[in-house]
Amino acid sequence: MEEVWSEPKRIVASGKKSSRLKAVETRDIAAALTALIADFFALYLKTKNFRWHVSGSHFRDYHLLLDEQSAEILAAVEPMAARVRKLGATTLRSVGHVARLQRLLDNDQHYLEPRQMITELLDDNRQIVDLLREAYELCNDNGDFVSLNLISDCTDDAEGRAWVLLSIMQDENGE
């Protein structure tokens, strides 16, 4: 008879991590999550920047929308950081660390039209979705189902933000 259950992976005796993942799996997943945290901080700051500097006829709507979206983005950071720590790794320590790891581009322009802001945030949220999917594959390949659930929730939120931003763009284009 074929054995259905495989031998469980051993927990590291040092107590540094609470997962049964191998050291290399833990390292790679923690690194992927830490890079995502840096991207989320970059997206959070850009969203806040655009909220603070938006102007025009849709000011109130965009101001409130970007406040909601920035809060959602920031709320995703803590669970990801906690997961990295549960894996026995460390995560971001400074703004400089964020700058070294982030893959989203900053925007330091003095002025942008509101439409340009919405377009850029749409593109960034789509990029976040792509980065989350890459991390999802890594976690799936290594059997880290806890991180999979976390990433899945973040992906749903990012797709939701992108959907709202795309709807604004389509509305403004008369589509």
pLDDT tens for each residue of 15-53: 455 567 898 999 999 999 999 999 999 999 999 999 999
pLDDT in tens, 69-100: 999 999 999 999 999 999 999 999 999 999 99
First to last CA, the chain: 61
Residue 69 lies in a domain: yes
Q: What pLDDT, on a 0 to 100 scale, did the predictor assign at position 37?
A: 98
| Structural domain harbouring 109 | 23-172
This prediction has a pTM of 0.87
Q: What CATH number has the domain bearing residue 60? A: 1.20.1260.10
**% of residues, the chain, pLDDT over 90:** 83
Residues with Cβ within 8 Å of residue 66, at least 6 apart in sequence: 47, 48, 50, 51, 54, 121
Helix (H) or strand (E) holding 63: helix 59-86
Residue 26 has which token pair?
């833990």
Residue 102 lies in a domain: yes
Q: How far apart are CA 35 and CA 11, in angstroms?
A: 25
Name which of 76, 79, 78, 99 is nearest 158 in CA terms: 76
Residue 1 lies in a domain: no
Q: Tell me the average pLDDT of the chain.
A: 90
Residue 2 lies in a domain: no
Residues with Cβ within 8 Å of residue 47, at least 6 apart in sequence: 66, 69, 70, 73, 121
Name the domain count of the chain: 1
Residue 8 lies in a domain: no
Residue 3 lies in a domain: no
Residue 59 has which token pair?
């000011």
